[in-house]
Amino acid sequence: MTREPSPDAGPPTRAADLRLAGEWLARHDLAGARPTPLLASRLVVRRQARLAAHVILGVLIIASALASVAFLGPQPQHPLQLPALTVVVAGLLLAQSLLDWWVRRVDQRAGATLSRRAAHLIQPGWRAVLGRPYAVFTVATFAGAMALTGSALAVPDPTVRRPAVVLLIGMLGATAIFALQLRHLLRHPVVAEDEESLTADVIMRVEDARVLATPNVQWSLPMVLLFGTAPGWWSAASVAYLLLGLVAFIALNTRTPSSATVARQAMSNR
């Protein structure tokens, strides 16, 4: 049962959004549950936020590539390129923070329309949401990308070292963005009115965590910036890193239980 929406509760839920919410429930073995405006609005905002987060990472890759191109040659032609890239990375971090704030705000407004509110007493932590296999994979992926960055920085050739500096800035930015997203995922308030919507909330978090664990910048940035200009051993190492990561990622996706199963396990433990 819901209260009258508050004045700032946003536009009424569209039929298409409710239909998508119904499909989402069916996909997660919750076909018996009724798609509510609360769930529909939360799913819509998550879809948009996910798209925007991908755009942010795309901008990071393009900005890094542009900074790297400006650095090619024996002498840096644009000494302001590195500070400019740093400013871009800081701007992207701010954009990510604003994106997270926007998701929280939409959730808060949706929650304000509920007459009943439900919450966990034992919060699902990173083990329940991300899961140990995905956590290990994520750490290994970031560590591998950082190792490639470090080894490129150790090459005395300036045509390799300069893009490696750009790569380092890009990777630090990507790591910071990841940390921000994960923190938001684990700490933003629950919006639920009963056990069903509480389960849906956990499923959303598990889904978001898995999308977050999917490597993008870690895999693409070293290739974009250094492949071809770095020594042969570095290129071989980067290809091996990519192929190993890909195999591990496929294995992870095929062998781990679905997000709905993980969410139900997490709910049964609380």
- Among residues 3 and 47, whose Cβ is nearest to another protein? 3
x/- map, 56-95, another protein, by CB under 8 A: ----------------------------------------
270 counts as binding another protein under rule CB under 8 A = yes
| 122 belongs to the binding site for another protein (CB under 8 A) | yes
Minimal distance, residue 187 CB to another protein, in Å = 8
Instruction: Report the distance separating Cα 243 and Cα 228, nearest Å.
Output: 17
Is 115 a binder of another protein (CB under 8 A)?
A: yes
CA distance 57 to 181: 12
* Structure tokens that stand for 157 in this block: 């050739």
Host H or E run for residue 84? helix 81-112
Distance (Å, rounded) from C-alpha 109 to C-alpha 124?
Answer: 23
Interaction of residue 118 with another protein, rule CB under 8 A: yes
CA quadruple 160, 166, 168, 170: dihedral sign: negative
Identify which of residues 17 and 193 has a Cβ nearer to another protein in the complex.
193
**Which position among 70, 114, 185, 212 is part of the footprint of another protein (CB under 8 A)?**
114
120 is a site residue for another protein (CB under 8 A): yes
Measured from the Cβ of residue 83, the count of other Cβ atoms closer than 10 Å reads 10
Count of residues interacting with another protein (CB under 8 A): 22
Q: Closest separation between CB of residue 54 and another protein, Å?
A: 28
- Single residue of 111, 133, 158, 231 touching another protein by CB under 8 A: 111
Pick the stretch among 36-44, 56-64, 118-126, 202-210 that binds another protein (CB under 8 A): 118-126
d(CA 231, CA 204): 43
d(CA 40, CA 48): 12
Q: Which of 1, 25, 14 is nearest to 259 (CA)?
A: 25
How far, in Å, CA of 105 to CA of 114, rounded?
Answer: 15
Least gap, CB of 121 to another protein (angstroms):
6
- Contact of 228 with 235, CB cutoff 8 Å: yes
- The smaller minimum CB distance to another protein, of residues 199 and 220, is found at 199
Q: In terms of CB distance, is 87 or 119 closer to another protein?
A: 119
- What are the φ/ψ torsions at residue 9 (nearest 5 degrees)? -75, 5
Q: What's the min distance (Å) between Cβ of 236 and another protein?
A: 48
- HSE toward the beta carbon, residue 86, CA cutoff 13 A: 6
Residues 171-210 that bind another protein (CB under 8 A): 187, 189-190, 193-195, 198
What are the residues binding another protein (CB under 8 A)?
Answer: 1, 3, 111-112, 114-123, 187, 189-190, 193-195, 198, 270
